[in-house]
Structure 1
Amino acid sequence: MTPALFLLLLLLLPAAAARRPASAAAYDLLHPAMTYRMPTALRELSGICVLPKQRVACVEDQTGTIYVYNLSTRRIEQTIPFGPQGDYEDVAQIGQDWFVLRSDGTLFKRSAGRTTTYATGLDQANEPEGLAYNAAGKALLVACKGAAGVGSPDQLRAVYRLDPGTFRHGLKPAYVLNVAQLTAANVAVNRFAPSAVAVHPKTGHVFVAAASGNALVELDAQGRVLHVEKLPRNLFPQPEGLSFAPNGDLYISSEAGNTKTALIQVFTFRATP
């Protein structure tokens, strides 16, 4: 290699690094920028969705109510009843419409004061737990804690894409997670059962959290594993919720577990230099 070529490569390296997509490594998951302790009504906090104006929508796994929590006042400022008591897992918003996922795979849509239910085709055997809207694909994603379909090896976990019109899941998962592969990528992770899913607003990458295994995984748009990180249990007692602010800041919620209160923690997005 000539000296001139070597110098050219050195000049190009920073530009190449700048084009690398952000990853979970862009978050310092040991040091939250903010920590919010949830009120008693949200002790069983199971899913979150970041809203404008410093607000977060929350659901818990007992009542059919969406709670709008104001991060500035640290109070619940609105409650939106949408259904009967049930085991609700996650919440998402598309425009003015609310969507809530129940553990039996039923999807609740709350729109203009009216609730409609949809059978997604997923059921309690799939253990659907995570719900998120993928704006690029204009479809909801559902992350499942159970095995990825009938006959699939127990080491596989699936994220399904719901049809925007029928809200039925596709015959094949949108993303498949191989637990053995995740364990190989990070030896501290010895199991992984998804509890939440979210799509990064800047990169389109899919983030999946697991309360069983206490870990966070990042996938690219093609489903390739980019990063696997262990979440220490002392900071994340039971990570059940995952959401992003438009600027890329990451919100992770944990059920109370053995602690007195549920938590929402915010992690600042640090764009890859």
Structure 2
Amino acid sequence: MIKVIHTLISILAIVFFLEACAQKKEQKMIYLSENYEKFPYDIYEPNKKFEMKDELREISALTYYSENSVLCVNDEKGVIYKYNHKKKEVTKKYEFDHPGDYEGIELIDSIVYVLRSDGKVFKVENFKDKKKINSVKRSTHLNAGNDTEGLGYDPNTNALLVACKGSPAHSKKYHGKRAIYEFSIEKNELSKTPKYLIDQDQIRKILEFDAYSRFSVQLMENINPSQGDITFQPSAVAVHPITKNLYVLGSVGKILVVLNPAGEIQAIVKLKRKIFRQPEGICFAPDGTMYISNEGRGQKANILKYRFKQ
């Protein structure tokens, strides 16, 4: 009898130990700087999940449209999709250009801006009227080698933010960094130098300091070594409407980096693969509600909705 009791105690001790380790690991999935008290979303528990039909299996970006709708693009067609998450379906389609690798979208007032991976920015006016729709393409000094994938809007400067998944510049000046440029809406041009630079070494040091990382598995799957440093490659960017922090999403590396307006890292969130199959888009509602889109990768794409915890 005593032996049985000892065995039960040992089993319970092991169970408690494993649970404690699991909780410890879960806590370490989110790094916070000293000045950043708490990440304001339950990132591993979305409040809603909306599955996309085949036409948006390659959803590559989204932007807030209304309380029940977002605008999306995929990386194959020059079409803007209006997705109603209350009806759970695409309710409108607006063709603005030829097929291409479209990776970013932003709605500012009544004008839609779309980013292509070769650095070109499309200004789409009257997008809701097929007869009056007007799409103007603007070239920048960035190209396919920079692999521009993220497009956000900063209302404080009235400028678009263009994040490079690939090379940060045309020279080795920003080697080891990831670059985010500023596109002035008023001047209709891209800044010559990056507005923000994210240091890959700093991210690695933070994650190593964390001591709990599954990067080795995450990074070696379906990654082309020619893309260079694969610690973090931005796929989407958005400015939080309340905190004014910059959220930079990386499908490669499976992390979400939060910067303050000065460009300092406030948080790094490791994204679980079972939830974030291929995160390519991020946007916010005015009340801070966050939406993250995942491409399908052989399955159904989805949009995840998160309530903001102030």
1:45-79 CA distances to partner (integer Å, 9 max, x unpaired)? 00000111310100001110000000100011110
Distance in 1, matches of 2:302 and 2:72, equals: 11
Distance in 2, matches of 1:204 and 1:25, equals: 14
TM-score by length of 1: 0.88
CA contact (8 A) 1:44 1:262 kept: yes
Distance 1:265 1:124, change over 3 A: same
Residue in structure 2 matched with residue 203 of structure 1 by the alignment: 243
Residue in structure 1 matched with residue 302 of structure 2 by the alignment: 263
CA contact (8 A) 2:36 2:267 kept: no
Distance 1:128 1:72, change over 3 A: same
Distance in 2, matches of 1:189 and 1:220, equals: 26
CA contact (8 A) 1:241 1:253 kept: yes
CA contact (8 A) 2:35 2:266 kept: no
Residue in structure 1 matched with residue 254 of structure 2 by the alignment: 214
* 1:94 aligns to 2:94 (yes or no): no
Counterpart secondary structure, 2:201 = helix
Query: Counterparts in 2 of 1:238-257, with a 5 A limit?
Result: 238-257=278-297
Distance in 2, matches of 1:159 and 1:115, equals: 24
1:6-50 CA distances to partner (integer Å, 9 max, x unpaired)? xxxxxxxxxxxxxx9877711111100000001110000000001
TM-score by length of 2: 0.78
Residue in structure 1 matched with residue 31 of structure 2 by the alignment: none
* 1:148 aligns to 2:168 (yes or no): yes
Distance in 2, matches of 1:22 and 1:198, equals: 18
CA contact (8 A) 1:39 1:261 kept: yes
Task: Give 2:266's match in structure 1, choosing from 211, 220, 226.
Answer: 226
* 1:177 aligns to 2:216 (yes or no): no
Counterpart secondary structure, 1:194 = coil
Distance in 2, matches of 1:43 and 1:105, equals: 23
* 1:39 aligns to 2:39 (yes or no): no
Residue in structure 2 matched with residue 135 of structure 1 by the alignment: 155
* 1:57 aligns to 2:71 (yes or no): yes
Counterpart secondary structure, 1:162 = strand
Distance in 2, matches of 1:249 and 1:23, equals: 19
AA aligned to 2:268 is V
Residue in structure 2 matched with residue 14 of structure 1 by the alignment: none
Counterpart secondary structure, 1:183 = helix
Residue in structure 1 matched with residue 41 of structure 2 by the alignment: 27
Alignment size in residue pairs: 251
Distance 1:54 1:28, change over 3 A: same
Residue in structure 2 matched with residue 9 of structure 1 by the alignment: none
* 1:109 aligns to 2:123 (yes or no): yes
Task: Give 1:165's match in structure 2, choosing from 177, 180, 186.
Answer: 186
Residue in structure 1 matched with residue 5 of structure 2 by the alignment: none
CA contact (8 A) 1:22 1:203 kept: no
CA contact (8 A) 1:140 1:161 kept: yes
Distance 1:232 1:245, change over 3 A: same
Worse-matched range after superposition: 191-200 or 148-157: 148-157
Name the % identity: 35
Distance in 2, matches of 1:129 and 1:265, equals: 19
Counterpart secondary structure, 1:98 = strand
Larger radius of gyration: 2
Q: Where does the alignment leave 5 or more consecutive residues of structure 2 unmatched?
A: 1-33, 127-132, 216-230
